Amino acid sequence: MGTLIKRYKRFLADFRLEDGTVITAHCANTGSMRTCMEEGAPGWLTYHDNPKRKLKYSWQACHMPDGWVGINTAMANGLVEEAIMEGVIGELQNYSILEREKKYGNRSRIDILLRDEGRASCYVEVKNVTLLLEEGVAAFPDAVTQRGAKHLEELVAVVERGERAVLLYCVQRQSAAKVVPAREYDPHYAATLEMAMSRGVEVYAYGVTHSLSGLSVTHPLPLEI
């Protein structure tokens, strides 16, 4: 644990540890991090005793007034994969093969590809959600995302060729009770999301529970599109 001093240069954040030591941690979040950090907030850090690492600490979560927020976007895919394997995500069951980072579309990689003999493959795009619009309402994205809109268009192409396409919001905001598109941050993404759903792309949201043992995807959240 540490106390956030400041985040800067996108990938760096200074923390004061409990013994007073000031360290610099790696921040694996390239977004704006609106509503999920503030100076003086408690932060959950992990230590890595790897001689090849320049920064020994990684920033995993920040404690905001509404609870813990997982800020490490790199964890979302692993959390979703684990939840699929453990049967938590009911909509993505009964596939015998799970693959990560498979090439598809226009020079893209799908986060998770599910396959099973005799069934259409299922392409799963995972988005990490941290933005809080108001009490209980989480939203995506927290900034304009041309890449996010492109991924939706590529998922539509997957459906058009007869396979299954899923967009899954991994909500690392502990207080979230529902998920909405952040229209005021990126109206084009919101419109593209509506188009994709009308063309057969499935969209689900699942919440992440924070505990002393770590993070895990545990429960579905309602969507309001």
Rounded to whole angstroms, the Cα distance separating 152 from 150 reads: 5
Across 65-211, the runs of DSSP E, i.e. the strands, are: 67-70, 97-104, 108-115, 122-129, 131-134, 137-140, 164-171, 178-181, 202-211
Q: Tell me: the pLDDT tens digits for 65-77?
A: 999 999 999 899 9
Last residue in a domain, options 52, 70, 88: 70
Reply yes or no on whether the pLDDT at 30 is more than 90. no
Both 163 and 191 in a single domain? Answer: yes
Give the single-character DSSP code of 31: S
Both 208 and 97 in a single domain? Answer: yes
Both 57 and 81 in a single domain? Answer: no
Both 30 and 80 in a single domain? Answer: no
The residues near 95 (Cβ < 8 Å, ≥ 6 apart) are: 114, 115, 116, 119, 122
Both 113 and 82 in a single domain? Answer: yes
Last residue in a domain, options 70, 105, 121: 70
Q: What is the pLDDT of residue 108?
A: 85
Both 81 and 176 in a single domain? Answer: yes
Both 36 and 100 in a single domain? Answer: no
**Residues 137, 181 contacting (CB under 8 angstroms):** no
Both 119 and 60 in a single domain? Answer: no
Total structural domains within the chain = 2
If DSSP codes are grouped into helix, strand and coil, which group holds residue 78?
helix
Q: Tell me: the pLDDT tens digits for 34-55?
A: 899 999 999 999 999 888 899 9
Taken as a whole, the chain contains a residue count of 225
Both 40 and 116 in a single domain? Answer: no
Last residue in a domain, options 36, 54, 70: 70
The CATH number of whichever domain residue 33 belongs to comes to 2.40.50.580
Mean residue pLDDT across the chain: 95
Greater pLDDT, 171 or 211: 171
Average pLDDT over residues 164-180: 97
The CATH number of whichever domain residue 171 belongs to comes to 3.40.1350.60
Domain holding 194, by residue range, is 73-221
Average pLDDT over residues 5-11: 94
Q: What is the pLDDT of residue 11?
A: 94
Rounded to whole angstroms, the Cα distance separating 140 from 27 reads: 19
Please spell the DSSP secondary structure of 33-50, one letter per residue: -TTS--TT-EEEEEE---
Both 168 and 143 in a single domain? Answer: yes
How many other C-beta atoms can be found within 10 angstroms of the C-beta atom of residue 176?
24
Both 36 and 66 in a single domain? Answer: yes
Both 88 and 57 in a single domain? Answer: no
